[in-house]
C-alpha cells in the first residue's frame, strides 16, 4: 500500500457507505477501489468502483493534491465514456473542495457576503424581489414606455423571462431580465452583457433574434423575438415530433451552429430546452449565456479549469475546462441530443442500444453518425456542422 493510500485509509477509516443490508464500504477500501479503476477490464466493475469511490470521497474534509492528480490520471486512461464522465465529475468536486476548503457552504457564503456599505441596498433589493413581478407589470420596471408586460414565462436563479408586447406595433417579445440583487455582481453582469453581445453578432434565421439590450436604471435586460412554438424538449415530451420533424429541426440547428462557428462562437450549452420553434416550425438556437467568444476576444469570464454547461450533454473536455473546447463540443452535444430524441429519451452512455434496432423507423445509418459525434477525442469527431449535416441528409427518409 502506498503512502497516499495509507493516508486516505486512515483519514476515512470511520467513514462507512451502506449500499444495502449487507454491503458496506469504508475508507479502508479506497486502495482496492483505485486498483479496480486502474486495472479492471470489466467496465461495469469500473463504473461501480467510481460510484462507490465518489460517495466515500464526498465525506472528505481535506483534499490532498496527490489524490486529485491520481483521479486525473485515471480519467485520462479511462476509455469508457460513462466511467470517464464519473471520474471527471469526481475530479471537479475534489478540486472545488481543495480550493474552497473544508466548509464549502461557509466559503460560498463568504464569497457572496456583501460589503457592509451595501447591506441596506441589498436589503431593499431582496424586499423588492418579493413583489418584483407585480412591480414590473404595474409599470415601475421602466419597460412601460415601450413594452407592456403580459406575464412571467420562467424564472431561474439569476434572472427571469417575461412575455411582453411592443406598444408601437403589438408584436410579442421576450424580455430576459437579470434579477436586481445581482446588479452589483460584476461577473454576472458581465456575462449577461456578453450574452447580448454574442446575440448581436449572430443574425441568422436559425438563431433567436436580438431586438435590443441595455440597462434601464433598474434592470439589465435583453429583448428578443418571441417564438410561439415552444422548445424542443416540450415538443418531445408532448409526442409532437415525427421523424421528418426531428430531421428538420436537427438540420436547422446545424445551420445555426455553422453560422455561429464561422464567427468563432461556441455555444457550450446545446440541449433540447435551448432550441425553440417559431409558428412555421423553424428551429432556432437560444441562450448564448455560456458561449465561448472568438479566439483573441477579451474573454476573461472563462477561466482555465472552469467547468460549466449541462453535464448530461457536455463532452469530456468541457467537464475539465470549458475554456479549452472547440466547435466539436457543440457537435458532441448535438449527437447526445439527437440520440435522446430519436430513442425516446435514452442516453448514449456505455454500450448504448443502436437506433437502427429500436423498430421506430430510424435508419441504421444514424448509429455511426452518433458514435462519431460523441467520441471522447475532439479530433475524432465530425469537424464541422456542415459535414455532419451532409452525413445526416445522405441517410434519406425514415424506413
| 315 grid coordinates | 463532452
The active-site residue out of 29, 231, 255, 269 is: 269
Closest by CA to 244, choosing from 129, 393, 116, 92, is 393
Is the CB of residue 322 less than 8 Å from the CB of residue 292? yes
The CA distance from 112 to 227, in Å, is 35
Closest by CA to 66, choosing from 30, 40, 39, 36, is 30
Dihedral (C-alpha) 225, 162, 190, 123: value to the nearest 10 degrees? 170
The CA distance from 257 to 115, in Å, is 42
Q: 104: part of which helix (H) or strand (E)? A: helix 104-111
Is the CB of residue 283 less than 8 Å from the CB of residue 257? no
Q: Taking each helix axis as running N to C, give the angle between helix 243-262 and helix 385-393, from 0 to 180 degrees, rounded to the nearest 10.
A: 160
Q: Distance between the two ends of the chain, CA-based, in angstroms? A: 57
- CA 287 to chain CA mean position, Å: 11
Beta bridge partners of 18: 24
Q: Is 269 a catalytic residue?
A: yes
Is the CB of residue 202 less than 8 Å from the CB of residue 263? yes
Question: Helices (DSSP H) in 132-211: which residue ranges?
Answer: 132-137, 186-201
Active site residues: 269
Amino acid at each position: 500500500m502506498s503512502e497516499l493510500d495509507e493516508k486516505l485509509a486512515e483519514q476515512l477509516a470511520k467513514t462507512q457507505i451502506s449500499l444495502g443490508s449487507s454491503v458496506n464500504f469504508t475508507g479502508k477500501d479506497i486502495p482496492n477501489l483505485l486498483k479496480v479503476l486502474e486495472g479492471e477490464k470489466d467496465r461495469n466493475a469500473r463504473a461501480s468502483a467510481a460510484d462507490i469511490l465518489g460517495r466515500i470521497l464526498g465525506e472528505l474534509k481535506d483534499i490532498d493534491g496527490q489524490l486529485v492528480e491520481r483521479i486525473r490520471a485515471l480519467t485520462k486512461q479511462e476509455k469508457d465514456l460513462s466511467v470517464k464522465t464519473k471520474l471527471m465529475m469526481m475530479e471537479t468536486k475534489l478540486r472545488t473542495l481543495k480550493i474552497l476548503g473544508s466548509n464549502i457552504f461557509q466559503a460560498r457564503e463568504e464569497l457572496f457576503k456583501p460589503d457592509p456599505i451595501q447591506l441596506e441596498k441589498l436589503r431593499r433589493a431582496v424586499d423588492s424581489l418579493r413583489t418584483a413581478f407585480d412591480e414590473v407589470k404595474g409599470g415601475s420596471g421602466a419597460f412601460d414606455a415601450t413594452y407592456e408586460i403580459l406575464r412571467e414565462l420562467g424564472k431561474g436563479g439569476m434572472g427571469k423571462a417575461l412575455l411582453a408586447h411592443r406598444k408601437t406595433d403589438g408584436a410579442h417579445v421576450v424580455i430576459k431580465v437579470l434579477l436586481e440583487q445581482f446588479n452589483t455582481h460584476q461577473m454576472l453582469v458581465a456575462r449577461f452583457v456578453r450574452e447580448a453581445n454574442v446575440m448581436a453578432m449572430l443574425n441568422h434565421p436559425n438563431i433567436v433574434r436580438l431586438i435590443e439590450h441595455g440597462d434601464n436604471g433598474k434592470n439589465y435586460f435583453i429583448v428578443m423575438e418571441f417564438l410561439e412554438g415552444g422548445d424542443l424538449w416540450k415538443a418531445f415530451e408532448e409526442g409532437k415530433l415525427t421523424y421528418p420533424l426531428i430531421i428538420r429541426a436537427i438540420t436547422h440547428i446545424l445551420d445555426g451552429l455553422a453560422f455561429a462557428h464561422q464567427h468563432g462562437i461556441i455555444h457550450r450549452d446545446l440541449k433540447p430546452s435551448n432550441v425553440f420553434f417559431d409558428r412555421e416550425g423553424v428551429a432556432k438556437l437560444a441562450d448564448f449565456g455560456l458561449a465561448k467568444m472568438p479566439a483573441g476576444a477579451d474573454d476573461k469570464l472563462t477561466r482555465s479549469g472552469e467547468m460549466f454547461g449541462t453535464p448530461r450533454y457536455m463532452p469530456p473536455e468541457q467537464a475539465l475546462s470549458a475554456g479549452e473546447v472547440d466547435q466539436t463540443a457543440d457537435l458532441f452535444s448535438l449527437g447526445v441530443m439527437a440520440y435522446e430524441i430519436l430513442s425516446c429519451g435514452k442516453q448514449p452512455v456505455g454500450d448504448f442500444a443502436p437506433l437502427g434496432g429500436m423498430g421506430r423507423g430510424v435508419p441504421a445509418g444514424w448509429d455511426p453518425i452518433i458514435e462519431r459525434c460523441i467520441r471522447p477525442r475532439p479530433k475524432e469527431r465530425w469537424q464541422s456542422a456542415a459535414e455532419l449535416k451532409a452525413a445526416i441528409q445522405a441517410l434519406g427518409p425514415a424506413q
